[in-house]
Each structure stands twice: as structure tokens, then as C-alpha cells.
Amino acid sequence: IFNLFGATEWEYYMKEGGGILADFFNEVLPPDLSDEELQDIYKNTSCSTHATVKSPPILTVHGNWDTIVPISLSKHLHNVLDGLNVSNLLVEVPLAEHGLDVGWFSVGGQMTRFAMERFVAAQFS
């Protein structure tokens, strides 16, 4: 799996205080949900909830200045994957925002292609 714009770790994100995505996410949910129902939704829409020892290899490329999807979400997911011994790699792109790989020849784009190529090769070696 190539995760290029950060993990959806809603449960962790909301516990950390949320942010711009919390506002968006809560806008699309029915307004009459109980706290328990909200917690269930956050948990069930979080990647780490569904990770198991049988999860496929996962590569995440994430800008460390991402203000839309904080890098802490990807770090959380990869900590969970490490605990399950799932093959994974988190590449933190310095000084990069959300959408870091938009330009094919941008630094983020080049790092993404390089990481993808090496990650796939490592899975078959």
C-alpha cells in the first residue's frame, strides 16, 4: 500500500485535540450522534483499527510540515504496524506540506518515486 497523504487515524487525531480535519469530519456527520457513537465512528474509520499481522506492506510518504493531516497520525499508524511486525516504512519529507509530491520533478515527487521503487524492490528481495 502506498499512503501518500497521511493516514486517517481519526480516533488518535480526536484524542490529540483535532484540528482543521476535525471540523470538516464533524460537519459531515449527523449532528445528533452521542459521544459513544462518535467514538465508534472515529475508531472504525481509523487505519490502525483494521491493521493485523496479515496487513500488506505499507509505505507512507508524509511532509513533516503538513498542516492538514498532521504527521503524528502517520507516526501513530507506523508505531501500530511496528508492534504487529508488519513490513512498513514512514518517509518524512522535511519542510514539506500536504500534497508534497504534486510536481513530478519536485523534491517531494522525486523522494516519493524513489521511496516507492525501493520499497517495492525490498518486498521481493
Phi, psi of 13 (to 5 degrees): -60, -45
Cβ atoms 43, 49 nearer than 8 A: yes
Question: In this structure, what CATH number is given to the domain that contains residue 6?
Answer: 3.40.50.1820
pLDDT of residue 21: 81
Torsion sign, CA atoms 44, 52, 3, 15: positive
Q: pTM for the full model?
A: 0.87
With a pLDDT cut of 70, the percent of the chain lying above it is: 98
Over residues 22-33, the pLDDT tens digits come to 888 888 999 899
Its domain, for residue 98, covers 2-123
Average model confidence (pLDDT) across the chain: 90
Torsion sign, CA atoms 58, 63, 64, 65: negative
CA distances from 98 to 1, 2, 26, 42 (A): 19, 15, 21, 22
**d(Cα 18, Cα 57) in Å, to the nearest integer?**
28
Domains held by the chain: number: 1
